[in-house]
Amino acid sequence: MLEVRNLTKIYEDGTLAVDNVSFTVPDGEFLVVIGLSGSGKSTLLRCINRLIDPTEGEIIWNGVDLAKLEGDELRMARRKIGMVFQHFNLVDRSTVLVNILTGRLGYTKTWPSLLHRFSKADRDKAWGTLKRLGIEDQAHKLARELSGGQQQRVGIARALMQDPELMLADEPVASLDPVLAHSILQHLEDLNQEDELTIICSLHYLDLVQRYSTSVIGLKDGKLVYQGSKEDIRNMTDEEFKTIYGEEAVRISDTSLEGSLGEVVEA
Amino acid sequence: MKTKSKVFKEEPNLPSLVPPWLAALLSAIVPGLGQALARAVQRGLVIFFSFVSIVGLLIWRFRLAAPRDEGFFNIFKKALYLEPIFYFITALVILLYIWIIIDAYQIAKRAGGPKRSKPIMVFVFLLLVFFIIGWQIGQIDLYAFFSQVDDALPAISRVLWPWERAITYPEEMWMGLATLETPCDGNPPPPTEPLEDRPYLVVDPTCGIPSTQDEAEDGSVIVVPGTKLQVEGYNFAPNQEVELWWRDPATSQFRHREAGEITRVIPDDDGYFEVDITWPYRLIPDSYLDETVNWELQGRQVTNVGDWEFSEELKLAIEKMIETIFIGMMATFFGIILSVPFSFLAAKNLMRGNPFTLGIYYLVRTVLNIIRSIEPLIWAIIAIIIVGLGPFAGILALVLHSIAALGKLYSEAIESIDPGPIEAVQATGANWFQTVMYGVVPQIIPPFVSFTIYRWDINIRMSTVIGLVGGGGIGYLLTQWIRMLDYSAAGIAVWFIAITVAILDYLSAAIRERFV
Ligand SMILES: Nc1ncnc2c1ncn2[C@@H]1O[C@H](COP(=O)(O)OP(=O)(O)O)[C@@H](O)[C@H]1O
Ligand SMILES: [Mg+2]
């Protein structure tokens, strides 16, 4: 269980990005964070795995306050938290395999890893993960040679290599077209349901939120403005959504490919 | 009113301060003044400064053309005489002067009116004048180029195809001898005994008298021809030139000349030749004149024995080419090592954190830019002053320039690092070393490799140039050969440079393609 208490982040330039946010994520949850661009979603997610140091507050995970960890302890905690990024954040000029093996760095001794030596078990695991995400054919290509959807699968595979207990996904489908968005989110849903992986994912489109989330929090200007269960979000109208999102709120099915996509969403 | 040119943006619709005729007169005294007073101030200024600089340049060029003359008119006349292009320039300047006066008149007349003449013509005219003066200053001489290019052709063709110089044959001198006696004492020496395998000469007759000098009645010197000799050569190397030499009784040796021409004969396929010569004149000490003395006739032939081998020049060129490649390599090597730390200091994304590091950033950037803007050739000259002629000076110069150039390129590569992957690697729980190895290195290695190879390529090219001022390597050799007018040898050096650069070009392109 993850418990965020009174989390605040003020950037060096004085920007108040996250303002006294508290919420709880029970294990096995698919929590979706919604909010306008600039509302603090990325900052919140990055505070959890400490890519960003929170200014104030506690992040209690399995009884440990992540906000206070330093050095090796922090890294040990981090390797149990996978992260998927909007822009995939792959190392373009490394191969897919190397990108995926990067996920094992937290478990590998420094010297062998600097020489790109990974254990047989790690490499087998990498191939298993590649297969699970259906990209084993791409293993030896450079990451930049892949399409967006394939790159995000590599991103997920990298996170999976960490044997994560928690998965953070920062707008994982915002750079992808709607069909691919569903296929990527279905992978995450699969992990959530089969592996009982806790997922915290920020999303933009109401219908994606309704389709995949088990609970939702909404941010506006860094403040927590909405908290709802699966039921709440299913019943949410566009109007309510707009109070969080403002007039920008859209359904992914509004943006393109109406007919064909409607079915995917319905399914 | 619309004006196309910003320089001539003029205040419209104000009447001229002076009447047209006065504007023209004023511009005749001070070019441009008329225009300025007719409210075309910028036009007047441009005209004034252009005219002044043109006249200044002309005075300088005229004086330079006739440095020993005094007085305006003398200098003018002499310069025109020596360099007819001055007629042309003078005519143009006079035209320009007249045009300025007319222009002042028209500007003043039209001032206040709706239409102004376009200034494009002024520019064209000024450009033309500057162009002609530039032609004269640059001493451009197309006639010299086309008339002298013919004379240079033999040298150029030797540079273009120098390979005869690349091989040599070991040589040996063959000599066939015959002995003659003077004066005849009734007991002439027998004809030369035939030899096996060695060349020999048979002369008929075997005694006689050399040519002598006498004084004619008018005081001029005349030569009285000596005995005619029929010379036969045997066993010489076929088809290779034989020179006839004499050894006189005083044992000094000299070439035989027939009517002033050196005698050269080519033996036939059997190594035999036949030639008629006249016993030459030779100033000989009196002591040899009293008795019967021997002269020796020699047939000398330089022949190639054995197989061809590479010439000294070729070997030297190869040695120096290798030296050059290594100069470039060492310079690149040290350049890389030393530029890496500088590149971090010159990367803005790393240094903008606080004012102190930002200050270092600007300092390093500035120093690198200054070093880079000075040619390696000049650094080489400075290095030679410090460490003397030789490869080390060349390496120093190139290292310095490489640090600056690579430092800039590397720092730009560092600046363009994408922070995303680094963040992602960190998020997996990787430590600092792992993050650098997996997040940073893959991003900077390709550009680093690419820039490094590019630099190596440049350094080897440069090291040939730096050799010209004494920085070692093949360039040094090349200048020496050119100064010795040994164009074939120079050609070999040029070829080696060209071949090496071409190979390197290909290699660096190939390697870069792999990495980038
Ligand atoms: N590194 C940073 N330094 C200063 N301000 C930042 C930084 N990153 C984000 N912000 C600001 O913090 C606020 C929240 O940004 P972010 O967490 O990226 O929002 P979201 O992911 O919801 O778009 C925004 O106002 C943004 O401009
Ligand atoms: Mg964001």
The pLDDT assigned to A248 comes to: 60
Distance from the alpha carbon of residue A250 to the mean position of ligand 1, in angstroms: 22
**Residue A258 pLDDT class (50, 70, 90 cuts):** very low
Nearest CA in chain B to A12: B353
Positions of E strands within B26-83: none
Average pLDDT, chain A: 86
- A117 within 8 A of A63, measured Cβ to Cβ: no
**Which residues form the pocket of ligand 1, taking CB atoms under 6 Å from any ligand atom?**
A 11, 13, 15, 17, 35, 37-43
Select the residue of A80, A107, A114 nearest B433 (Cβ to Cβ).
Answer: A114
Mean pLDDT over residues A185-194, rounded?
90
Distance separating alpha carbons of residues A108 and A191, to the nearest angstrom: 24
Mean pLDDT over residues B209-228, rounded?
85
Domain A1-80+194-267 has CATH 3.90.1010.10: no
**Residue B116 pLDDT class (50, 70, 90 cuts):** low
What are the chain A neighbours of B421 within 8 Å (beta carbons)?
89-92
Q: Number of C-alpha atoms within 13 angstroms, CB side, residue B169?
A: 10
- A169 within 8 A of A200, measured Cβ to Cβ: yes
The pLDDT assigned to B4 comes to: 44
Which residues of B, range 429-488, sit inside 8 Å of A by Cβ?
429-431, 433-434, 437-439, 442-443, 445-446
CA distances for B194 relative to B56, B247, B299, B327, angstroms:
85, 21, 15, 61
What are the chain A neighbours of B352 within 8 Å (beta carbons)?
none
Taking an 8 Å cut-off on Cβ atoms, the answer to whether A110 and B431 are in contact is yes
Higher-pLDDT residue of A251 and B399 is: B399
Distance from the alpha carbon of residue B421 to the mean position of ligand 1, in angstroms: 18
* Residue A70 neighbours by CB distance under 10 Å: 8
Kindly report which listed range (A137-146, A220-229, A250-259, B159-168) carries the lowest average pLDDT score. A250-259
Taking the CA of residue A9 as reference, the ligand 1 atom at the shortest distance is 12
The pLDDT assigned to B516 comes to: 65
Both tokens of residue A211?
């389709």
Residue B420 CB partners (closer than 8 Å, separation 6+): A85, A87, A88, A89
Q: Take atom 4 of ligand 1 and give the residue whose Cα is closest.
A: A11
Distance separating alpha carbons of residues B366 and B484, to the nearest angstrom: 43
- A165 within 8 A of A197, measured Cβ to Cβ: yes
Distance separating alpha carbons of residues B498 and B504, to the nearest angstrom: 10
**For residue B345, which of B363, B326, B321, B324 has the smallest C-alpha distance?**
B363
CA distances for B396 relative to A179, A219, B249, B262, angstroms:
60, 61, 63, 54
**Residue B38 pLDDT class (50, 70, 90 cuts):** confident
Q: Looking at the complex, does the CB of residue A113 fall below 8 Å from at least one CB of chain B?
A: yes
**Residue A266 pLDDT class (50, 70, 90 cuts):** very low
Mean pLDDT over residues B288-317, rounded?
85
pLDDT tens digits for range A89-104: 999 889 999 999 999 9
Q: Looking at the complex, does the CB of residue A83 fall below 8 Å from at least one CB of chain B?
A: yes
Alpha helices (H) along A29-109: 41-48, 71-78, 96-101
CA distances for A55 relative to A4, A46, B251, B419, B423, angstroms:
13, 12, 109, 22, 19
Residue A55 CB partners (closer than 8 Å, separation 6+): A8, A9, A10
**Residue B504 pLDDT class (50, 70, 90 cuts):** confident
Relative to the alpha carbon of A36, which ligand is closest? 1
pLDDT tens digits for range A32-48: 998 888 889 999 999 99
Which of B428, B434, B513, B516 should we substitute to test contact with A (largest number of A Cβ atoms within 10 Å)? B428
Side chain identity at residue B453, one-letter code: I
Q: Residue B178, exposed/middle/buried by CB under 10 A (0-12, 13-18, 19+)?
A: buried
- A159 within 8 A of A90, measured Cβ to Cβ: no
**Phi and psi at residue B178, to the nearest 5°:** -145, 145
Near ion ligand 2, which residues have CB within 5 Å? A 42
Both tokens of residue B20?
């047209």
The one-character DSSP state at B176 is E
Average pLDDT, chain B: 86
The pLDDT assigned to B303 comes to: 79
* Residue B135 neighbours by CB distance under 10 Å: 15
Mean pLDDT over residues A15-19, rounded?
92
**A21 has pLDDT over 70:** yes
Higher-pLDDT residue of B6 and B311 is: B311
Q: Take atom 18 of ligand 1 and give the residue whose Cα is closest.
A: A42
Higher-pLDDT residue of B461 and B421 is: B421
pLDDT tens digits for range A210-221: 888 899 998 888
CA distances for B446 relative to A199, B77, B212, B281, B456, angstroms:
36, 67, 86, 81, 15
**B323 has pLDDT over 50:** yes
pTM for the predicted model, two decimal places:
0.64
Mean pLDDT over residues A227-237, rounded?
80
Mean pLDDT over residues B75-86, rounded?
85
Which of A75, A91, A117, A125 should we substitute to test contact with B (largest number of B Cβ atoms within 10 Å)? A91
Q: Looking at the complex, does the CB of residue A42 fall below 8 Å from at least one CB of chain B?
A: no
| Domain boundaries, given as residue ranges, for chain A | 1-80+194-267, 84-163
pLDDT tens digits for range B372-407: 999 889 999 999 999 998 889 999 999 999 999 999
Q: Can you name the residues that pair with B180 across neighbouring β-strands?
A: B295
In chain B, the domains with their CATH numbers are 20-140 (no CATH), 170-306 (2.60.40), 312-515 (1.10.3720.10)
Distance separating alpha carbons of residues B333 and B402, to the nearest angstrom: 9
Distance separating alpha carbons of residues A221 and A223, to the nearest angstrom: 6
Share of chain B above pLDDT 90, in %: 28
Mean pLDDT over residues B334-353, rounded?
87
Quick one: how far is CA B146 from the chain centroid?
18
Q: Can you name the residues that pair with B393 across neighbouring β-strands?
A: none
The pLDDT assigned to B121 comes to: 75
